[in-house]
Structure 1
């Protein structure tokens, strides 16, 4: 009997739950939290790893940039959680991994009879704009740059295979090297932008995002198949509140005096676009997701952030020491 023929409504081999999960991006910011969550729930997890120095009992070798290396990777798997993406790479790198790698991965999933595919994408595929509480089908995506363009291409491949696409916007928590560090380092500039009332942004903690990913992965077949779901806290967070909370937790005080200049320089040509993302409304209606899963959206930013404050302080100190 083939592996594909063993897949049942209840999971691989008739077991309840999602059966064996193949997780890509398991060493990354979001994927590492999904990995810990699934393992804490007793879910068998197989992590796709391409680095030669990764050696763990739950890892298998494969490289999204090398489709041939993925052959057979989904054998015995009932659920694929695809949380790997190249971010800020060249157009060639983004297409090779995000688009062509996803195509090869989806082909393997189909070949093995995988029951559910969940892809962690980003609301950045909508492009710049000003987005105020839009639903998943209210605005056509208009990605800017190779990262978002290739991730939108990956979304289309996943949905064509009956998979589910998740779109978070700004994610914070242990492992975040972009959102909170940039907001904190740009505090002076961003505070000046509040003269117009300040922007409202869709946030979610990485732990609440992982809970949502795990919950979608365990939904019965037929539910949310082929759909796009926003994964954000239901209430947008004002930029002014974010800056207040960071100050209350001594994050801005922990930064060097030239933090603003360093951050803008590191952004390079993308600086104007990234600043616009932070200073104009970007929040999304996530009701469809929270109606579909039996997990909590978690507390708002002001309540949730303090548990991550020390991690950010340590990360900022380490980055400053290394520079």
Structure 2
């Protein structure tokens, strides 16, 4: 009988990739606000979490942390990040779950500047970053020799959404830029676009979790920078999306940005101290797939 892994956010970009990978070797059970989740609970409502039974699971992988869009209701977002996280950690620990993974964010380190690895000091400055760091700290303080925690910190995540109709992260550049390129023929940047980002595939994040889970001897709490193969400026990424859209649609695509003098080159370099956590997914292949998908009349996945 395969061991059980529990996943929250199973229909999200990262959660769906986690489910695909772990379903090959584990029994995957999911927590969500509605069917078809195996267990029904709302992370922003601690009372619903207290009713869960997580007994028998090897690990809980929490992929339903807060996103930027959640801060349209800041009170609910912080309740989910703090009270909901505390309830989920407490429930898992009480039910004998041995390991807990939280999908956090590179934003916990503060401004994307200079070289950042796992030894860099966290410095969360805006609400989104503070909420993720608070969730990490709630997990960290609960860890023991019998309850081990891990926070995965990706920068810019890409991957094919499991369900376009339910996908709500179009404000993120890996998704908004291909859509604008195909639908509008124009990618409009809000800045000069010289800030650098590290792009990692959702499948690579799932793989990083699997690698950590396979380790028998690990620290009580580990922060892991899940790092992708490709780092580039926002402008370079926009130009990549424009070129892909032109190939697929046969229509010229422009990249626009505000007038002004370009600032000094961005020196942001996102790294990991453990090369096993460097991903393999191809960013150009993803951009081509995303543009092709946006160009499909019914825009349905196969």
| TM-score exceeds 0.5 | yes
Partner of 2:13: 29
Match of 1:44 among 27, 37, 40: 27
Match of 2:61 among 81, 106, 113: 81
2:124/2:133 contact within 8 Å kept: no
Q: Deviations over 1:195-233 (max 9, x none)?
A: xxx33311101222222223323332x324301111111
Match of 1:118 among 95, 98, 101: 101
Distance 1:179 1:68, change over 3 A: same
2:197/2:232 contact within 8 Å kept: yes
1:174/1:312 contact within 8 Å kept: no
* 1:245 aligned onto 2:225: no
Partner of 2:218: 223
1:161/1:226 contact within 8 Å kept: no
1:62/1:70 contact within 8 Å kept: yes
Partner of 1:276: none
Q: Deviations over 1:283-312 (max 9, x none)?
A: 411232x34x6xx62045235543444234
Residue-pair matches, total? 270
Q: How does 1:1-323 map to 2 (within 5 A)?
A: 19-39=3-23, 41-51=24-34, 54-55=35-36, 59-71=38-50, 72-87=52-67, 88-89=69-70, 90-127=73-110, 129-145=111-127, 147-162=128-143, 163-175=149-161, 177=170, 178-184=172-178, 185=180, 189-190=188-189, 193=192, 198-220=194-216, 222-250=217-245, 280=266, 282-288=268-274, 290-291=275-276, 297-303=279-285, 305-314=287-296
Normalised TM-score (structure 2): 0.76
Q: Deviations over 1:99-124 (max 9, x none)?
A: 11110011011111211111101112
Distance 1:67 1:234, change over 3 A: same
Structure with the bigger percentage of helix: 1
Distance 1:150 1:314, change over 3 A: farther
CA distance in structure 1 between the aligned counterparts of 2:9 and 2:187, rounded to whole angstroms: 34
1:74/1:114 contact within 8 Å kept: yes
User: Which 5+ residue runs of structure 1 have no aligned equivalent?
Assistant: 1-12, 265-278, 319-323
2:246/2:252 contact within 8 Å kept: no
Partner of 1:269: none
Normalised TM-score (structure 1): 0.72
CA distance in structure 2 between the aligned counterparts of 1:180 and 1:69, rounded to whole angstroms: 34
Distance 1:219 1:179, change over 3 A: farther
2:197/2:268 contact within 8 Å kept: yes
1:25/1:31 contact within 8 Å kept: yes
Q: Deviations over 1:102-148 (max 9, x none)?
A: 10011011111211111101112233x24233112323322302x32
User: Matched residue of 2:157: which SS?
Assistant: strand
CA distance in structure 1 between the aligned counterparts of 2:229 and 2:254, rounded to whole angstroms: 35
Greater Cα shift, 248-257 or 208-217: 248-257
Greater Cα shift, 108-117 or 204-213: 204-213
User: Which 5+ residue runs of structure 2 have no aligned equivalent?
Assistant: 144-148, 162-168, 259-264
Q: Deviations over 1:165-205 (max 9, x none)?
A: 010010112126322233454965549826xxx33311101
CA distance in structure 2 between the aligned counterparts of 1:251 and 1:35, rounded to whole angstroms: 34
